[in-house]
Amino acid sequence: MSLKKNYGDSHDLFVVSSKRFDISPYISKYYDKKIVFGISANRFYPLSNGKDPIESYWNLRKKVVLYDVPEKPLEISGSDSLILLEKVFSRTISDLKINRARYAIACNYDGGIIMDGILIRLSSNKFWYIHADGNFETWLLAHSEGLKVNIRDPKSWAIQIQGPSALKVLKNCVTSIDIEKFKYFHCRNLNFGGQNFLVSRTGWTGELGFEIYSNGPQDDHLHLWDYIMERGKDFNIKTSSLDSMGIRRIEAGILDYGTDMNRFNNPFEVGLGKFIDLSKGFFIGKDKLLTVNKKTKLFGIICQNIIPFSGLKIFYKNKIVGQTTVGAFSPYFGRGIGYALFNYNNNWIEKKLYIKDHENNLHDCQIVTLPFFDESKKIPKLVNANLS
């Protein structure tokens, strides 16, 4: 198996109609026949552009990249919005300040994860939840009976600008902002060439960066794209598909809902226990989460000879003990990396384990804790960065 394989050629491909799916308002800026699209949150997104993602990966690590992403905001507003959010999220929401963001997980009554995403507080009674793949709107509606809340899809589309020069690009686009005060997980309404957009200091790469959320179809999305590319020229800004982002998110230990976790996994077993506030009042799934094993079953995996793409079995003493959820070739490590989800708790880091490829060959693998590096998130938090 070639170590140069990646996201675009690691899955079966099908021709799919765009009926019932949303197409990005930015698509004309990068579309060609080589692009492979994925579908998330009923939206097409550029998974691969047919090019080697390694070049884009290094541009992401050393310079700056613009990504069109499928993240889908939902708006929750009204006098009882906080009551609903405290009910459905396993993390305290009441102390979230206006213009701040917070990672938030929603569980079902069995303690399984049904959605994760970033919650942004826009005002005292108005929130946006930027969520992963899935129909979370229905879940919110089902639990809003008797509450004075309005739940709607604002038809916003997100783009991400990520990399060491990301905030330099932002400063060039929005001269009025004080970059030093625009902290990690903070949000601002900013003007880009005459249009106002919500911007958050977040991202899905583990790199320094920010996200821009449009207001809806009325925005001039193409002008925004051109404006950013023009203002980013001095910093060698490039556009890329999500295969390079996918490599980096694995290195950063960022999980993808539906790939690395689902409703059958509780937050603790996939290493997300720090985002669960069992001391708060009632929330859906709390009773079950109080009783579960709090140790993680999800780890990083490094392979010298193969890429541990999803679905490969992991063996210990000739028995299957887990499988991979995702994998990619890491240019940083020069080998295949991914995530390993085990069937039960054990000290897997100290065990001699093997991974079986699709040709039934066994390969040595190394199990490590996540993330693979930058555990304290110094990179996206802007620690010791130079913005001059």
Please check the confidence at residue 4 and state whether its pLDDT lies above 60.
no
Query: How much of the chain, in percent, has pLDDT values that exceed 90?
Result: 89
Q: How many residues does the chain have?
A: 388
Separation CA 208–CA 168 (nearest Å): 11
Confidence of residue 17 (pLDDT cuts 50, 70, 90): confident
Tell me 96's DSSP state: P
Identify the helix (H) or strand (E) that includes residue 224: helix 221-231
Query: Domains in the chain, please, with CATH?
Result: 1-292 (3.30.1360.120)
Please check the confidence at residue 342 and state whether its pLDDT lies above 90.
yes
Per residue in 247-274, pLDDT tens? Answer: 999 999 999 999 999 999 999 999 999 9
pLDDT for the residue numbered 19: 79
List, in sequence order, every residue forming a beta bridge with 331; answer none if it has no partner.
none
pLDDT for the residue numbered 92: 97
Tokens of 111: 């303690």
Per residue in 310-320, pLDDT tens? Answer: 999 999 999 99
Please check the confidence at residue 188 and state whether its pLDDT lies above 70.
yes
- pTM (whole model) above 0.75: yes
| 342 close to 271: Cβ distance less than 8 angstroms | no
Per residue in 79-93, pLDDT tens? Answer: 999 999 999 999 999
| Amino acid in the structure at residue 309 | F
